[in-house]
Structure 1
Amino acid sequence: MTARRQKKIRDTRYSHYLSPRWWPTWALVGLIWLAAQLPIGWQWRLGRAVGEIAYHLIPRRRHITETNIRLCFPELSAEQQQALVRKSFHSNGIGIMEIGLAWFRHPESFRAITRVHGLEHVETALARGQGILLLGGHYSTLDLGGSLVSLFIDADVMQRDHNNPLMNAVMTRARERRYGVALGAKDLRGLLKRLKQNRIVWYATDQDYGRKGIVFAPFFDVPAGTITATSRIAERSGCTVLPFSHFRRDGEVGYDIYFYPPLANFPSGDDLADATLANLTIEREIRRFPDQYLWMHRRFKTRPSPDDPDLYRETT
């Protein structure tokens, strides 16, 4: 992305989005706002319906999800794998509905149904005075979970900007009402600056970012391109790398946020060992609620050798 394009994407002034070309996006934002006013139980029911529709109407994403679950859960029968695929679509449908809750509802609205676990690990790490890198994952509760985290800690976030500048403005402004700063995904200088100020920064490593700056570490026993930037950041800043996760509860409407002890001996000086530890940490959390993960992403797109077959190629 060019610097000019990046600057345009990061423009969060609503006054710059008043021309007719932005009206369809404004209409979509309005629909998201309206949906966010519904009770949380309705949100979950509608989200499951959205997920069921997507399961049938987006075969490409269904194929990617089926491939990921087949690779990551070989111990399940074909019927169990397909049931998990479908349930994953339902969970991510709820996640779509929760975007509006995260953007337009104050997290205090959900304090009564939110529980936090392990907050003492954050407090201990902050006392070191070198900042915290919160090692998260792309769970389907991504947006609302992040908003709920702000009930308990003061943090910043790293985000991949939306391609639509107006949607990005709405998203960024919403997140900065809950977090301190929403840093661009490539803003390493800004990240290091915030850590130096003993800030907490939400950070995720569990997607395929291409072949640059990676090692191939096991993720559910499948070699996955994993960025080494986490080790570089921890090495340069001296920050604590602290795992956390957030999930919907089974059987009742509510959310749980988990903070864990910091990664031990991290960075170790061995990029592969560090990446393996990070992946296993995220994998452990995914296994708690496997349907609540973003399996629609091509996590294994980059292969150890360019000559390796594409795992997501559809056969006829």
Structure 2
Amino acid sequence: MRRKTVSVGPSAFRPGLLAPRYWPTWFGLGLLYLLALGGHPLRRGVARLAAGLYRRVNPRRAGIIATNLRLCFPHQSAETREEWLRRYLERHMLALLDLGRIRRARSGELTRQTEVEGQAVLERLRAEPGLILTVHSVGLEWAAAMLAETVPGSTIYKPFAANPVVDWWFGGMRTRHGTEALPRERGMGPHLKALRSGRSFFYIADEDLGAEHSVFAPFFGVEKATLPLAGKLARASGRPVYPVIGQLDEVTGRYRLHFLDPVELPATADREAAAAINRVIEELVIDDPAQLMWSLKYFKTTPPGEADRYRD
């Protein structure tokens, strides 16, 4: 019987990554470094062009964004949702172009370049580790890298199996300040252990991971498959929950960490716990909805008997 290989984290560099088939990837990464040396106006101009091109060549993904916004904000006008879609795509492309800035930043540089809303909460987090509850926002990578400079912790890592160069590059970016990045199949045990030992856990709580371990609860009024784990982890570790979202101002190019006050979540695995998590996420998102990564299928898992919400 063949033994199943279990991933242990981001891959290490090896000579095979320099093979000719990976040269286009290296070329792209080189462009990110060059853009990091350029100014924000250059990156924003490229991001605007990329956002428009993305929408034309990938209308299905643009349709997913539009569907998410329509489901969550039916009371908003079509014009408002269209503006949010446009701003999200521009911000998302700009954040991708900023990855070179994150990868090459010296220790402490990201902290100095980040605006913080809720400085007192950040200072408490640095003194009292906890579960950092966040979402897939356009500023996610920047927020994670910035916090890693001064907040030791762990996070869940999703390998880029299709391209080992990208896996190595992202892995290095996410772990170079000491963050322990572990694949999802390792479970929550190592992160619970880290919390108990005095390290924080950077936990992204908004993704739809299927029905097996999820509970349906309202998210902006729409039933969404939600993992009700945050409260259980906080109770088991005796640590607080710190909600935060990474945001990007596309005009100035500045990133901002917006902290809410620490919250208490039900330590159960039921609808009440899932709904409480979703309410926290809503509060993080509602002040600027175009910051959330709406291109994800947040509602791909549907309650029994309900049709596919993304059907063309």
Same fold (TM over 0.5): yes
Asked if structure 2 preserves the Cα contact closer than 8 Å seen for 1:157 and 1:201, the reply is yes
**Which residue in the other structure is 2:196 paired with?**
196
| Change in CA separation of 1:277 and 1:269 when aligned onto 2, cut-off 3 Å | same
1:162-198 Cα shifts (integer Å, max 9, x gaps):
2222211111111111342222233322212211211
- Residue by residue over 1:62-115, the C-alpha shift from the partner in whole angstroms, topping out at 9 and shown as x without a partner, is 110110011111111122222222222111111211222222233644555422
Please give the per-residue CA displacement for 1:265-307, whole angstroms capped at 9, x wherever unaligned.
x2343632221111111111211221111101110010111x3
Distance change >3 Å, CA 112–CA 39, structure 1 → 2: farther
After superposition, the CA RMSD in angstroms is 2.4
Identify the range of structure 1 (157-166 vs 271-280) with the bigger mean alpha-carbon deviation. 157-166
Contact 1:36/1:98 (<8 A) preserved:
yes
Match of 1:277 in 2: 276
Residue 297 of structure 1: aligned partner: 296
Residues 161 and 185 in structure 1, CA contact (< 8 A), matched pair in contact too = no
Aligned-partner Cα distance in 2 for 1:252–1:22: 34
Q: The residue matched to 2:225 in structure 1 has which SS?
A: strand
SS in structure 1 at match of 2:211: coil
* Structure 2 residue matching 1:257: 3-state secondary structure: strand
Deviation, structure 1 residue 141: 1.2
Cα deviations by residue, 1:20-77 (Å, 9 ceiling, x for unpaired)? 3433333332232222222233223322221121122210111101100111111111
d(CA) in 1 for partners of 2:249, 2:107: 17
Q: Map residues 148-227 of structure 1 onto 2, 5 A cutoff.
A: 148-163=146-161, 164-187=163-186, 188-227=188-227
The residue correspondences of 1:231-310 to structure 2 (distance < 5 A) are 231-249=231-249, 252-264=252-264, 266-269=265-268, 271-305=270-304, 307-310=305-308
Deviation of 1:312 (Å): 0.4
Contact kept in structure 2, 1:14 and 1:169, CA below 8 Å: no
Give TM-score, length-normalised by structure 1.
0.88
Q: Distance in 2 between matches of 1:23 and 1:89?
A: 27
Per the alignment, residue 30 of structure 2 pairs with 30
Q: Is the counterpart of residue 90 in structure 1 residue 90 in structure 2? A: yes
SS of equivalent residue, structure 1 residue 6: coil
1:132–1:312 Cα change, 3 Å = same
Q: Which runs of 5+ in 1 are unaligned?
A: none
Cα offset, 1:151, TM superposition? 4.6
- Give the deviation of 1:152 after TM superposition: 4.7
Which residue pairs with 1:146 in the alignment?
Answer: 144
Whether the 8 Å contact between 1:286 and 1:292 is mirrored in structure 2 is: yes
Distance 1:14 1:120 in 2: 43
- Aligned residue number for residue 45 of structure 1: 45
Percentage of identical aligned residues: 27
Give the stretch that moved more between structures: 154-163 or 139-148.
Answer: 154-163
**What's the TM-score, normalizing by structure 2?**
0.89
Between the aligned partners of 1:12 and 1:109, the Cα distance in structure 2 is 25
The residue type paired with residue 130 of structure 2 is I
CA contact (8 A) 1:98 1:141 kept: no
Q: Which moved more, 1:283-292 or 1:29-38?
A: 29-38
Residue-pair matches, total: 308
Distance in 2 separating the partners of 1:45 and 1:287 = 27
Distance 1:99 1:301 in 2: 28
Residues in 1 aligned to 2:166 and 2:203: alpha-carbon distance in whole angstroms: 21
Kept in 2, the 8 Å contact 1:234–1:267? The answer is no
Quote how far apart the aligned CAs of 1:237 are: 2.2
> Cα distance 1:190–1:40, how it changes in 2: closer, same or farther (>3 A)?
farther
Aligned partner of 1:311 in structure 2 is 309
User: Quick check: 202-211 or 155-164, which moved more?
Assistant: 155-164
Counterpart residue identity of residue 33, structure 2: W
* Residues 116-157 of structure 1: CA deviation (Å, up to 9, x unaligned): 2324335445656xx411000100111122222335533433
Q: 1:85/1:147 Cα in 2 relative to 1: closer, same or farther (>3 Å)?
A: same
Return 210-219 or 178-187, whichever deviates more. 178-187
